[in-house]
Structure 1
C-alpha cells in the first residue's frame, strides 16, 4: 500500500494499523504522555495548596491572592511557602504553555518522517530540560542559580525548533 493510500485510509502517519514491529510511534507517544502528565499534574499547584490547607475549590486560581496573607497571619503557612507556591503556579503555567509547541513539533516531525534518532533525541532533550526547568523554578530562590531556569527553558524550546527544522528539511 502506498503512503498516499495509507494516508487516505487513516492508517498513514499516525501508524494506527502499522504492521511494523518497531512501533514507530510508541516512544513519541510516551514522551507526549509524560509531557502532559508533568505539565498538567506534577506541576499543578492545586495539590501543593491542598497540602498546605489553603485550597478553595470555589475559586482555586485566586487562592494565593485571597487567602495567602490570612494563612500566613494564622500560622498555617510561611511567607517562604507562599513564595514557593507562587513559583509552582508560574512553573505550571509555563509548562502548559510550552507543551503546545512540543506537541506541534513532535507531530510535525512524525508527519514529515524525521529520522527516529533525531526525534527521540529531541524529545529526550525537551523532557530533561523541562524537568530541570520545573525543579529550578520551584526549589531555587537564589538569583544566580535561577539562571539555570532560563537555560533549560531555551534548551527545551530549541529542541522543538530543531524538530520543526528537521521536518522542513524532510519535506
Structure 2
C-alpha cells in the first residue's frame, strides 16, 4: 500500500538503491503558490517583483518626491554653516558663499559641499518629472506590475546613489560612480516608456 501510494503521488520523488524515497523538492524550494520560499520570497513579495504583485508605483513616486524635494535640499547645509537667507535662498551660494570663505566663516571645502548638494537637488527635481511620466504611462498602458515595480526600484536605488555620490564624492575618478548611477536611473525610465509602448501597441 505504501508503494502504491507513492506511485500515485504526483509530487516529485527520487529513486534510490534501497527503494523509493519521496523527496519534496517543490515543497522545500517553493511555497504552495509556486513562489521561492524563505528570505528571497519575503523580499520579492515586499518589493512586488513577482508575477501578480500589486502596483507599487505610487509609493515609489512619493518616496522619490520626498527624496528630491526635501532630503536633498541644500538649505540644511546652508543653515548649519550660517549662510541661509530665506528671503532669497537661491542667491545664497553666489552672493554669500565666497564672502563666507574669505571671512573664515566656512572653508572652501564646505562651500564646495554646499554647491554639490545644490546641484544634486536640482538634478533630482529635474529628473523626477521624467520618472513620474514614465511610471504613470506604464501604469495607464497596463504594463505588468512586477515590471513596473522592478524599474521603479532600479530608479529609486540609482537616485539615492546619485545623490549620495554627488554630495560626498570630491574626486574625479570616484565621480564616475555618480555618472553610472545617473545612467542606471535613466535606463529605468527608458524601460518604462518602452514597455508602455509595447503594451499600447498590443491593444
Give TM-score, length-normalised by structure 1. Answer: 0.84
CA RMSD of aligned residues (A): 1.3
Distance 1:80 1:157 in 2: 30
User: Are 2:74 and 1:45 aligned?
Assistant: yes
User: Are 2:108 and 1:79 aligned?
Assistant: yes
Distance 1:117 1:23 in 2: 6
Quote the residue 1:103 is aligned against: 132
Quote the residue 1:66 is aligned against: 95
Quote the residue 1:55 is aligned against: 84
Bigger RCO (CA 8 Å, 6+ sep): 1
Give the C-alpha shift of residue 24 in structure 1. Answer: 3.8
Quote the residue 1:9 is aligned against: none
**Of 138, 145, 151, the match for 1:116:** 145
**Which deviations, in whole Å up to 9, do the C-alpha atoms of 1:20-43 show, x marking residues without a partner?**
xx9944x21110001100110111
User: Are 2:167 and 1:125 aligned?
Assistant: no
State the secondary structure of the residue aligned to 1:144.
Answer: helix
State the secondary structure of the residue aligned to 1:58.
Answer: coil
For structure 2, which runs of at least 5 residues remain unmatched after alignment? 1-51
Give the C-alpha shift of residue 75 in structure 1. Answer: 2.1
Distance 2:161 2:76 in 1: 20
156-165 or 64-73, which deviates more:
64-73
Larger radius of gyration: 2
User: Are 2:201 and 1:157 aligned?
Assistant: no
Give the C-alpha shift of residue 95 in structure 1. Answer: 0.2
Quote the residue 2:29 is aligned against: none
Distance 2:105 2:121 in 1: 23
Give TM-score, length-normalised by structure 2. Answer: 0.71
State the secondary structure of the residue aligned to 1:82.
Answer: helix
State the secondary structure of the residue aligned to 1:145.
Answer: helix
For structure 1, which runs of at least 5 residues remain unmatched after alignment? 1-21
